[in-house]
Amino acid sequence: MKEFIVSVPTSGGPMDLHGFQPDSHAGRLPAIIVLQEAFGVNPHMKRVCRRVASAGYAAFSPELFHRSGKGLEFGYDEFPKIKPIFAGLTNAMVLEDLQASYGHIAQRPEVDPARIASWGFCMGGWASVFAACELPVAASVSFYGGGMVNPRPGIGFTPIIDRFSSIRCPLLLVYGAKDQGITPADIDAVKARLTSLGKEYEVEIYPDGGHGFFCEDRAAYDRASAEASWTRATGWLAKKLS
């Protein structure tokens, strides 16, 4: 597997984009923009990228916290350190980072620009749906993406449900039934809005999953839900990016 880092320009300074690709491939690769949890492009996110690349994709994970520092990673018990970053991170900043990531990936010679998708987790799940609203991605996967319906105190980026009318691609929305931060009412609101707009989407809810159930480094990890959701998401992406 090839692993590398490229720097892409933004108005907030250069942003590192972590790249992962299979060693050999025939023709141009489909690509996935893997969008981080609140803890940075950390070992877990890099393992996700390696799994994505092993499945036959080019994977790229942008450092969405780059305005606060290069290579920032936080422990799962260090959320107080993340709060100031969250407070200063706006929709406009995230959109610029998504656009910069997509623009770089789409022009890479080994990537098929018609087959670029986004896949995000936690705050990255929110960002993945935001990408579907604002970018010409071919598909979008969101794992427990919160904050799409109601504003959250102390967080600078805001709900995007009013942008759903601009969604241009199919969505796969994955949740855990035991998630204390994303309520059934939130999920119902997202579904109702997407349905009213005639958007193509699917929702998968894992009964034993809490928030962060896919991350093997978190206390919330649930192996059965993680394995089932991986199979579900990769199978769905294979169809949408075929």
Q: Report pLDDT digits (tens) over 151-199.
A: 988 899 999 999 999 999 999 999 999 999 999 999 999 999 999 999 9
pLDDT confidence of residue 12: 95
Residue 212 maps to which CATH number?
Answer: 3.40.50.1820
User: Which two three-digit tokens encode residue 119?
Assistant: 């896949």
| Strand order across the 58-62 sheet | 2-8, 15-21, 58-62, 29-35, 111-121, 139-143, 171-176, 201-206
Give per-residue pLDDT as tens, 33-75: 999 999 999 999 999 999 999 999 999 999 999 999 999 999 9
| Domain carrying residue 58 | 2-240
pLDDT confidence of residue 94: 98
Place of tokens 């969604």: 167
User: Which two three-digit tokens encode residue 46?
Assistant: 């890099």
Model confidence, pTM: 0.98
Tell me the average pLDDT of the chain: 97
125-131 average pLDDT score? 98
Q: CA–CA separation, 90 vs 88, rounded Å?
A: 6
Cα–Cα–Cα angle for 157, 164, 156, rounded to 5 degrees: 5
State the pLDDT confidence band at 26, using cuts at 50, 70 and 90.
Answer: confident
If one counts the domains in the chain, the total is: 1
User: Which two three-digit tokens encode residue 164?
Assistant: 């759903």
Given a cut of 90, is residue 25 above it in pLDDT? no
pLDDT confidence of residue 1: 93
State the pLDDT confidence band at 24, using cuts at 50, 70 and 90.
Answer: confident
pLDDT confidence of residue 143: 98
